[in-house]
Amino acid sequence: MSAIDLIATIPVGSDTFATARDMLLAYGRLVSAEPGNERFEVYSDAAASALIVVERYSSQQAFDAHLADPANADFNGRLGALLDGGGSSLQLLDRLG
């Protein structure tokens, strides 16, 4: 099975940065404990006023289980409320070589 790699970009304003960052770091600890999660790293991109999350799942099945987890919907709902309905854009990556 092929691993799933993705980057999530979350635009944040200066007024929501600290709260969104703290939410992501806490959520990351939960996601990192999921079976099949191999990477959940949170970065800041000051030039784009965004938080960046780099994720890796061992398989499509592990990624699907992550998406189906009620904690995922809860987190995304809370993040969307913080960002006035905004959220993340996902970029799925294909590993070369």
Q: What does the pLDDT read at residue 45? A: 93
Contact predicate 82/16, CB 8 Å: yes
Domain ranges of the chain: 4-92
Which residues lie closer than 8 Å to 89 by C-beta, 6 or more apart? Answer: 8, 9
The neighbour count for residue 1, using CB atoms within 10 Å, is 10
pLDDT tens digit sequence for 26-75: 999 999 999 999 999 999 998 889 999 999 999 999 999 999 999 999 99
Q: What is the CATH number of domain 4-92?
A: 3.30.70.100
User: How would you class 65 by CB atoms within 10 Å of its CB: exposed for 0-12, middle for 13-18, buried for 19 or more?
Assistant: middle
Residue with tokens 């939960």: 30
